[in-house]
Amino acid sequence: MERLIEFATQHYYLVGAWVLTLLILLATEKRKAGKSVTPAEATRLINKEDGVVLDIRTRKEWDTGRITGAHHIPLADLDRRMSELDKYKDKPLIVVCNLGQAAGSAAKTLKAAGFSQVVRLSGGMTEWKGQNMPIIK
């Protein structure tokens, strides 16, 4: 630990460059993934603004439990089956995956296809279940 502190004090410009690079990387990843919502915000979007849930998990994950009323299109099939979602282009679309990370790429694809209100569920189904939100099997 002493050597780390010694290195940091003697090479502050390298440490500063590393911190700056890390911050830029984090900002880029956050922007690329799009806006995220908590389970409580997702519930509000569903109930008050007619939000639609798009579950992009695999069939095996889908069968373990899903949000009531969710549409299931696995991420691998999203490009091919996107036309099924055309009627929801102007509604809030909440993209759900298992941990909240794959939903970012799906949200980016949907935005590029003209969906105006795409968000991803922060923490995915893991967070949804962790907050004891309702699921169906």
DSSP 8-state symbol, 131: T
**Can you point out the beta strands (E) in 1-137?**
36-37, 52-55, 71-72, 93-96, 118-121
Catalytic hit among 78, 97, 103, 119: 97
CA dist., res. 134 & res. 120, Å (int): 18
Residue 97 known to be catalytic: yes
Closest CA to 118 of 36, 55, 47, 43: 36
The secondary structure of the chain in percent helix, strand, coil, rounded to multiples of 5, reads: 55, 15, 30
CA dist., res. 16 & res. 10, Å (int): 12
Query: Which residues participate in catalysis according to the annotation?
Result: 97
